[in-house]
Amino acid sequence: MTRNWAGTYDYTAPAITPMWSEADIVRAVGTGTDRVRALGTRHSFTDLPDTTGTLLDMAGLEGGFALGDGEVRVAAGTRYGVLASWLDERGLALHNLGSLPHISVAGATATGTHGSGDANGTLTTAVRGIRFVGAHGEVRTVRRDDPGFAALAVGLGAFGVVLSLDIETRPSYRVRQDVYSGVSWDAALADLPAVTAAGYSVSVFTRWEQPSVGWVWVKTRVGADDDAVATNLLDGVLDIDAEPLGGLADVTELRGSPGPWMLRLPHFRLDGTPSFGDEIQSEYFVAREDAPAALRAVLALGDAIRPLLFVSELRTVAADGLWLSPAYGQDVLAIHFTWHNDPAGVGAVLPLVEEALAPFGARPHWGKRHGFDRAEIERVHPRLADARAVFERLDPGGRFSNAHLERVGVREAR
């Protein structure tokens, strides 16, 4: 396969080479001089993973689990759903999961991918250590307290090829999912924290229509399976028949049925099709205090957005100190768009969305389609130059660079 998982981006790399072991990767990097990039589960929607040299297909580098003191070591190509199942069998868990359990641990953490929850950081915030192959084929390790970790954690593959991650664990827990309908925009924008704090993880699915926001999907950690949940949320009500994603077959179980964390925190089952397929995605992050005003600005574009849109999702992410994280230095609201596969139409509407969000310093998701260039990324990512300096020091020849990283200023142009 030479396309991303949704079939909406074609890789242009001259070669895509499967990697089956760490030795394969060390050899591939250490014996060559051309540019090289790692390719995970192909969930990026742009040329971010692409290269003029060789793409190393990491899908075969899965598993390698080893438990440590409050952490697990896992091979870079492992899908989150596979890791989650392995942990749950041992009474352990992660702090959160993204919407799709199909994504690889290295690809997701390298791009600042996230789940939801006012108090939950990106998936990267659980990373304690990174083992990677550097520009000369050397294997290196960096831990959370080491210099440079804040640059490398959300590192976009700009400094090397990740072999494995050490990820923080916690005791297993149970979660139920409930959906509320009828919450009005007026009520939600007047008290957005009441919506986003309604559960451990909350997602709002909307098509930018009035008067209702759409569906509020609440994931609640339960102490006992018969714990009660609220029947109302602002001016909305618990809706046991709601289908917030239009009845897609592979959605995780709703209607308040409690289950293991790893079968409830994602929106989709690992054994099913992720999302809609044949789609383009975009996402922007604004400071949580600016969220109501930012949402009003996007809501005003509803008529232009809806013809191109499957659905939008609104989630919250807690602040962190990782330099290229979408939540660096501030709690954020993530405004996500799942578009139809209409590149021209999406290309026409994205500038409108980005213009509307510009006053709020919106940061784009690194792996999803956006129109930001180096100057615009520098405006919203205050530590970009610091991160770039780390990458340039570790890889002075630019072996792990590519056109995308140079276009957005993560690497210097060559």
Asked if 164 and 179 sit in the same domain, the reply is no
Asked if 118 and 209 sit in the same domain, the reply is no
Helices (H) and strands (E) in the chain, counts: 13, 20
Closest by CA position to 322, among listed 99, 119, 140, 126: 126
Amino acid sitting at position 256: G
pLDDT at 111: 97
Q: What is the pairing mode between strands 66-67 and 259-260? A: unpaired
For the cut 90, the answer to whether the pLDDT of residue 4 exceeds it is no
Asked if 209 and 98 sit in the same domain, the reply is no
Asked if 132 and 269 sit in the same domain, the reply is no
Q: What's the Rg (C-alpha) of the chain?
A: 20
Mean pLDDT of 16-31: 95
Model confidence over 199-257: pLDDT tens digits? 999 999 999 999 999 999 999 999 999 899 999 999 999 999 888 888 777 888 888 89
For the cut 80, the answer to whether the pLDDT of residue 274 exceeds it is no
**Alpha helix stretches (DSSP H) within 311-414:** 343-357, 374-380, 384-394, 403-407
Residue 413 CB coordination number (10 Å): 11
Residue 127 CB coordination number (10 Å): 24
Strand (E) or helix (H) holding 357: helix 343-357
Q: Which domain holds residue 229?
A: 174-364
398: pLDDT confidence band, cut at 50, 70 and 90? very high
> Looking at the 3D structure of the chain, how many domains does it have?
2
* Residue 63 in tokens: 């598993």
CATH of the domain at 120: 3.30.465.10
pLDDT at 248: 78
Asked if 82 and 99 sit in the same domain, the reply is yes
Among 149, 172, 195, the domain-final residue is 172
Among 172, 204, 238, the domain-final residue is 172
Model confidence over 325-365: pLDDT tens digits? 999 999 999 999 999 999 999 999 999 999 999 999 999 99
Asked if 163 and 230 sit in the same domain, the reply is no
Asked if 121 and 138 sit in the same domain, the reply is yes
Q: Give a yes or no: residue 402 inside a domain.
A: no
Token pair 């809501």 in the structure block, residue: 299
CATH of the domain at 354: 3.30.70.2520
Q: What is the largest CA-CA distance in the chain?
A: 63
Q: Give a yes or no: residue 184 inside a domain.
A: yes
For the cut 70, the answer to whether the pLDDT of residue 107 exceeds it is yes
Asked if 354 and 343 sit in the same domain, the reply is yes
Mean pLDDT of 116-132: 98
Instruction: Quote the percentage of the chain above a pLDDT of 70.
Output: 100
pLDDT at 118: 98
1: pLDDT confidence band, cut at 50, 70 and 90? low
CA distance 226 to 236: 22
* Residue 274 in tokens: 């992720």
Asked if 135 and 216 sit in the same domain, the reply is no
